[in-house]
Each structure stands twice: as C-alpha cells, then as structure tokens.
Amino acid sequence: MTAFALLGVAALSGCGSSDSDATTVTVFAAASLRQVFTELGAEYEDTHPGTKVVFSFAGSSDLAAQLNQGAPADVLATADAVNMDKVVTGGRITEQPQIFATNALTIVTPPGNPEHIASLADLSRPGLSLVVCAPQVPCGSATEQVTSAAGVTIAPVSEESSVSDVLAKVTTGQADAGVVYVTDAKQAGDKVVTVPFAESASVVNAYPIAVLSDTTSTSDARGFVALVTGADGRRALTAAGFGSP
C-alpha cells in the first residue's frame, strides 16, 4: 500500500470522527511546524478532555496535493500562501486563511562546520555537498528566490520534499551544508552549526492556517486554530523561533 493510501486509511478512521467518548481533529501541517504544533496539540487536548488532535506533517506542496485528491482533514497550516491557495482553488477551503507566523532561511552545517561555510556565496563552491528543498516546497522556493536575487548559483546534490528532510541529511553527515528555516536550525541545537546570512531577510515566508470546509469537527477545528492564532500560540511560536505575522 502506498504512503498516500496509508495516510488516507488513517485519516478516514480518525478525521472528524467522534463517539460517545472522543472527538478527533486531524491537522495537516508543514514539516517545519512539527515541534511547536505537537506541543500546542497536547495543550489543546489538556484543555479539551475527550478531544484528540492528530497531525500529518509533510512538505506543504505534498499536503496540498493530498487534500486536493480528497484526503480527509479538519485543519491545514502551510509554510506559504501559494500552497494554501491551491487548496482554496480546489474548493476544500472557503474561508479566508489567517497568517499566524513567519519564518526565514538560514544555512546549517554539521558540527564544527568542516567546510568553513561563512556566507551564502560559499554555497556555490565546486564539490560542496549541498542539500536544499525542492522548488515546489516553500523552503525550496524561498531558496531559489534568495540565491537568484543574490546572483549566487548553487548545484545541490539533493532536493528534498520537506525542510525536515534537508535537516536530517545534514545532522546525519550526509551533506556538507543545507538551507533550512531558522526554526529548524534552532530545534536541531548542537547537532548543527547555524550560519546566518543577510540575504535571507529579502524572502520571509508567511504561514497561513484555515479550517477545511468539509470538516465534521467544526468546533474543535476552529478551537485549535484559535489556540494557534491566540496569545498562547504566539508565545509558543515565538519560543520556537517563528516571527510574528
């Protein structure tokens, strides 16, 4: 069975379902939101006994494709407006998405920075094992925009489907450098060396969130969105390194 099929089975068994004891809310969210949304999901469950928040984390382009192919879900949070708009255009979202956070890019290297990467321009070095996100993924699109504007030509050895996959390649020593979000670098801690670059300020991703129009758990779906966009959500997002909307 394919990964998508497995996701569909899992979602069908839980999304929007309820019995006398529990309600399940399925949230599709960009991979870069994994840590903070997992924390917020636990907080929502604590304050709403009998409700279970289930997450599907992946690249935003994959999430949009899955939803437009009919995958059940209650809430969608993407790392850019482009992929959210695909789901709006597909008819699965009819409300106005809310921007709840922003994020910017940074360079990460393995501990010790063996290749002595110090700038965006250093990523163009011949022979450098560089990993980035694929162009259709928000972090990949942002990387393309930043390098193009700076006149830096890169030749990545791999283009990954999510920012977490890029980070994994660096933390496991499979790459000399990677381009990820500042939040992912912060989450990785001493597993990476973070190399900020000034050009990243020119491309900042805005994160929208919305309730799916066909949710059958409307109250809890809207409740989770309210948590994310409210004061508690802002504190958690700030602590994780996300910028304000």
What residue numbers does the annotated binding site cover? 32, 60, 163, 181
The number of CA neighbours under 13 Å toward the Cβ of 173 is 3
The number of CA neighbours under 13 Å toward the Cβ of 23 is 17
Distance of CA 126 to the CA centre of its chain: 30
> How far, in Å, CA of 65 to CA of 63, rounded?
5
φ, ψ of residue 206 in degrees (nearest 5): -100, 135
Which two three-digit tokens encode residue 220?
A: 């809890």
Q: Which of 43, 74, 30, 58 is nearest to 208 (CA)?
A: 30
Annotated binding site for molybdate: 32, 60, 163, 181
Determine which helix (DSSP H) or strand (DSSP E) holds 132, and give its type and residue range: strand 130-133
Distance of CA 9 to the CA centre of its chain: 23
SS3 state of residue 176: coil
> How far, in Å, CA of 143 to CA of 159, rounded?
11
SS3 state of residue 100: strand
The identity of residue 85, as a single letter, is D
Angle between helices 231-239 and 34-47 (to 10 degrees): 150
The identity of residue 123, as a single letter, is L
